[in-house]
Chains A and B, each alone.
Chain A
């Protein structure tokens, strides 16, 4: 069985926001995507994103995740190992996904999205009648 705990760190081209002269810089959040009989589940690590600051939308078959982050520790910095930037990532959805029934949940900085398949895209057992 393939080792799944440590993901491959090979750079893969994710959809990036168009380069502009805007001040914002973005982080591509790491995601898990897996498929079940009923649909796809997308799980993304978005630390530091509040529910109000999270924007999940589907338009033209493209799923966009965008989250604005905020540090919560007060005081003046002494040592910094990370910088919280805003998150941005896009995915092209397959036609089988029913965009109207997507549900999302945010717990402890982890976003879980459930993308159900359309009824006609589900596998269906056909009983053969013997006459």
Chain B
């Protein structure tokens, strides 16, 4: 009986944890959903809220990873705005129809990445320094991006946010920010920081912060009136239903516009997938697990194909919310699905209570998430290695000076360059007359190897090439080894097993066969004596 009670108690405790984390996630996602749709994408708030409900739910069902949290995303929302702004007026019926079409095209393009396996594999060319650099960049991005809302100021930028504008926003908050908004934001932050220090209350920290900020805001509104405090609140969401069916625009007269948004759809698809793959790999590793990125591509693609029929913005992984899931310490798809259901219930039944939550408190929470993403423990390993540091800071600065998509591209190029550079510089040592090659022998590394080889030859010694620790030898490497052997200046050895030597000998013979030395002019295989004679002829210089 006691054991049963204990089991029930544990289960209930677990459920409570799921509930708290789910509620925290729901409350953090809600303002982001509203802000992204209205200020970035140029669509009504329900687009973002449906993405935060249905996008998260679909991803939780389709994606096997326990750390994945989909939903509305900053960069994707901004990309929707950038693509559609030249074509139509925001918030209009035509604009919303095109936004849905854009989302559907994005989903279909993502589906191609799942269907064509090598295409999806390309997304894996993002290394850990790139991902960490991006995370740190996005952390700063979130802090700066929330500054104006924190200070109760109107959003300063429509779609772009270079670092210098963020700095202007900081100065503006100091000089002309709404003092009431600043106080609410600071109280929210201070409450979060203090509650976070108590281990048992850690997962309640954000909720406590929002509660403190809201209570103080209500106190100010009672004392001075909303007309005097001018503190922005989330506002009335009572018109939102569980779902609103919609159909993307695909009419004859809209064809011109649809063709025009195809490049935007490609960008949107790549933006989403890059972030999904990068965030999933990073957070899975952080949680000590492994996630199949192909499953994530599939879940993103199917979700984004379905969401346009539910009046929703496209969805992809959210670095900051996944970070929050990790920080709260519950890695479970149940929690994530629960957050979506809780958000729906909150919007349906507590719309009036949610309406009074002040936006500065929400901005403070987003800033806190940004701070949590800037961890020295994650940065330190990349700073110790010079080349990795270049990749890390390249990705980090690209987020700050370009945008997320630019950062992903720069990061991928740097990561590939870094790995190629490493491969192209094998460890070649000359001990006595033994030339030992540790690393790759391929077209990129041959110039390095050949330089040392010829330096050694110049001393007039007969060399022994030891490639027992070569990881990989490409056909050009094989031809070089064969040529080195054939010149008679060097011998090939493999001290460890001899297996490699035989393999190389066979490969060298194969390479020579391909070059045609063992074929007679009529195309039939040469006899052993003919081969021997021909090999001798090749070795002796023709006078």
A and B: partners? Answer: no
